[in-house]
Amino acid sequence: MAAINIDHYLLLSAVLFCIGVAGVLFRRNAIVIFMCIELMLNSVNLLLTSFSNQHNDPSGQIFVFFIMAVAAAEVAVGLAILVMIYRNAKSVDIDFFNKLKE
Amino acid sequence: MNTIVILSVTGIAAMMSDVFKLKKALFGLSLLGLLIALVFSVYDWGQYATYFNQMVLTDNYAVVFTTMLIGITFLWFLMSKDFFSSHSSASEHYALILFSLTGGVMMTNFSDLTILFLGLEILSIALYILAGSDKGNLFSNEASLKYFMIGSFATGFLLFGIALIYGATSSFNLQEISAYVQQHNGSLPMYFYAGILMILTGLTFKVSAVPFHFWAPDVYDGSPTLVTTYMLSVVKMAAFAALYRLFIYCFAPVYEFWIPVFAIMSAVTMLLGNITAVYQKSLKRMLAYSSIAHAGYMLMALASPGGTSRSALMFYLLAYAISTLGVFNVLYQVHKVTGREEIKSVKGLFRKNPFAAIMLTLCMLSMAGIPPVAGFFGKYYMFVSTLNGGLTWLVLIAVLSSLIGVYFYFKVIIAAFQEPELENTAYYRQPSDLTVLYICGILSLLLGILPQFVAGLL
């Protein structure tokens, strides 16, 4: 069996990223969309860590911490927005939000 | 660097002001903070200094854009005093605006992809909240949710791109990446180019270029008018400054790869933005589409980098931001009195306040790009630099789409000079409400008469 090298990690994170993108594009529930965005960010974390290991350079892993912190902040804001919307509309289905389109 | 520190300290002070019962002085305090930051930013002129382990680089490019960002925010504050007083949580709004400006300044000063990412997020997260600051209004809620989703989606692309670039070059530093690319040009792995494309996608989402523009009209239309003004002027400026800096400082050695992408994007963006704007009845939505079209003209600087494209982009952004502030000042007052944002709502402006109507005309002419105002020279410099870059077809498309633009900008001017339809056109009662309009009109005219002083800076 061939050793696991950087290409495998690259492929795995690309697949994870694509699952995230597909979820954002095709799912209709706002919470599921948030989860898919998190999946996209986490695939980046995986990629950065494996590149960091390959290059023997810690800065990639430091970047992962920044991404984690920012993702946490983003989710906090996003959930607050969702709560605000749920209070007004009693729904988190994004098909409901096409009022501006007409 | 001092600018970033001062702006964040001002933001934190604004956030804390509730505790220290300083709420009344908050407006003055924020303006003072902005002025000090402005002075420090200008003071950095002519220096070439790196801070924070080469993560922040202050050069003349950064200084010019930082100064412009702070100056525009200052003008924005002058016209938005009642945005803050009408909310119970005024201090948070001050803090959010100041934080997002800090993010914008980081995006113009970055010399490391980490700072680009952090600046973009600081800028955006504050704006997700501000877009929804009209909590009871479903339109504002919708704008906030869309902006948030599209913003974090685009961040995902940007980050994946950064990770791929890091994988190919083993560095986040712009100089090091540039040097590495120069050295290994031709033998770079495929995923390096995929990384460039993904970063390009992530950032063009932010500047609302076609095909990543679909969120922009809804978000700009649904957000509170003053927040939209901020997005159109400051955010667009910061995003373009970052995009240009990244591609010129970092990916210049492989320019054959990304120039065609920007050229096609630019052509499609300006055509689609201008054509769609023609059909809009709402002034706010029309300005949202026109902002997409303007993004197309600004992308011309990236389609023909080098030469004078840098000063052309700077001048175009300045002219556009100033005229946007002026037009939105009128729109905001109209909305406050009539509750509507249609083009015909500005009817009767000349009758009640001729000077304001003339200033609005100057701002509109500047957007349309008609001499002798600033916007004309913005387009002129941009076209000349693109012609020097050899993209004649792009300039032809740009001229054609400008002609379409003239039509809908003149609709507003004509409406301003018509007789009023309704009697409740009292929005000119307090002349001080339109101070920023006067400042912007006069600035547009001055920049149009003496463009070489500003354009010669870079």
Are B6 and B33 in contact by the 8 Å Cβ rule? The answer is: yes
Contact in structure between B15 and B95 (CB atoms under 8 Å): yes
Shortest Cα distance from A68 to chain B (angstroms)?
12
Q: How far apart are CA A75 and CA A66, in angstroms?
A: 14
Tokens of residue B107, six digits: 């995006």
pLDDT at B424: 55
Comparing CB atoms, the residue among B148, B162, B167 nearest residue A77 is B148
Nearest-CA distance from A47 to chain B in Å?
7
Question: Residue B426 pLDDT > 80, yes or no?
Answer: no
Give the closest-approach CA distance of A8 to chain B in angstroms. 13
Q: Which of B149, B169, B281 would you mutate first to test chain A, the one with the most A CBs within 10 A?
A: B149
Q: What is the pLDDT of residue B185?
A: 84
Q: Is the pLDDT of residue B16 over 60?
A: yes
Cα dihedral sign, A4-B168-A45-A20: negative
Hey, are the CB atoms on A100 and B142 less than 8 Å from each other?
yes
Contact A37 B222 (CB under 8 A): no
Percentage of residues of chain B with pLDDT beyond 70:
97
Distance separating alpha carbons of residues A99 and B146, to the nearest angstrom = 12
B265: pLDDT strictly greater than 90? yes
pLDDT at B380: 93
Say if residue B425's pLDDT is above 60.
no
**Residue B156 pLDDT:** 95
Residue A9, domain member (yes or no): no
Q: What is the mean pLDDT of residues B77-98?
A: 83
Q: Predicted confidence band at B136 (pLDDT cuts at 50, 70, 90)?
A: confident
CA dihedral B92, B93, B98, B100 (to 10 degrees): 100
Query: b or e along A34-71 (b: 16 or more beta carbons within 10 Å of the residue's beta carbon)?
Result: bebbbbbbbbbbbbbbbbbeebeeebbeebbebbeebb
**Residue of B309, B357, B324, B355 whose CA lies nearest to B455:** B309
Instruction: Give the model's confidence band at B19: pLDDT under 50 very low, under 70 low, under 90 confident, else very high.
Output: confident
- Three-state DSSP at B112 gives strand
Exposed, middle or buried, B384 (CB in 10 Å: 0-12/13-18/19+)?
middle
Measured distance CA(B114)–CA(A67) in Å, rounded: 9
A12 within some domain: no
Chains A and B form CB pairs within 8 A to the count of: 120
Q: Which amino acid is at B7?
A: L
Between CA A61 and CA A74 the distance in angstroms is: 20
CA–CA separation, B97 vs B217, rounded Å?
21
DSSP for B326-389 reads HHHHHHHHHHHHHS--BGGGGTTHHHH-HHHHHHHHHHHHHHHT-TTSHHHHHHHHHHHHHHHT
pLDDT tens digits, one per residue of B112-123: 999 999 999 999
The model's pLDDT over A11-30, given as tens digits with 9 standing for 90+, comes to: 999 999 999 999 999 988 88
What Cα–Cα distance (Å) separates residue A14 from each residue in A8, A21, A40?
10, 10, 9
For A71, the closest chain B residue by CA position comes to B152
The three-class DSSP label of residue B255 is helix
B282 reaches A (C-beta below 8 A): no
Name the amino acid, one letter, at B51: Y
The H-assigned helical ranges of B207-254 are 216-222, 225-230, 236-249
> What's chain B's average pLDDT?
90
Three-state SS for B56? Answer: strand
Residue B392 has pLDDT above 80, yes or no: yes
Partner residue opposite A37 with nearest CB, options B132, B145, B152: B152
| Cβ <8 Å between B172 and A47 | no
Point out the least confidently predicted range of B134-138, B148-152, B372-376: B134-138
Half-sphere exposure of B183 (CA within 13 A, CB side): 8
Q: How many domains does chain A have?
A: 1
- Domain with A74 in it: 28-94
Of A84, A94, A96, A98, which to mutate for an interface test with B (greatest number of B Cβ within 10 Å)? A84
Q: How far is the alpha carbon of A28 from chain B, nearest alpha carbon, in Å?
A: 12
**Average pLDDT of span B237-244:** 95
Residue from B110, B115, B122, B153 whose CB has the most chain A CBs within 10 Å, to mutate:
B153
Between B9-18, B19-28, B71-80, B162-171, the lowest mean confidence (pLDDT) is in B19-28
- ipTM over 0.90? The verdict is yes
pLDDT in tens, A61-95: 999 999 999 999 999 999 999 999 898 888 877 77
Q: What is the pLDDT of residues B191-215, one digit of tens each?
A: 999 999 999 999 999 999 989 998 9
- Alpha-carbon span B207 to B243, nearest angstrom: 9
Q: Is the pLDDT assigned to residue B430 strictly greater than 80? A: no
DSSP B168-218: HHS--BHHHHHHHHHHTTT---HHHHHHHHHHHHHHHHHTT-TTS-TTHHH
Q: Residue B9: exposed, middle, or buried by beta-carbon count in 10 A (0-12, 13-18, 19+)?
A: middle
Q: Is the pLDDT of residue A1 over 60?
A: no
For B23, the token pair is 């709420």
Number of domains in chain B: 1
pLDDT tens track for B415-424: 888 887 765 5
Among chain A, residues having any CB pair with chain B shorter than 8 Å are: 6, 10, 13, 17, 20-21, 24, 30, 33, 37, 40-41, 43-44, 47-48, 51, 54-55, 57, 59-60, 62-63, 66-67, 70, 73-74, 77-78, 80-82, 84-85, 88-89, 94, 97, 99-101
- Which domain, by its residues, includes B266? 2-455
Strand partners, B282: B342
CATH code at position A56: 1.10.287.3510
Name the residue type at position B15: M
Structure tokens at B294: 């303007």
Report the share of chain B in percent with pLDDT over 90.
Answer: 66
Residue A101 is predicted with a pLDDT of 60
Q: Which residue has the higher pLDDT, A99 or B277?
A: B277
What pLDDT was estimated at residue B275?
94
- Both tokens assigned to B385: 């630099």
Task: Find, in chain B, the residue whose alpha carbon is nearest to that of A16.
Answer: B160
State whether A82 and B167 contact (CB < 8 Å). Answer: no
Residue of B145, B158, B199 to mutate, interface with A, max A Cβ within 10 Å: B145
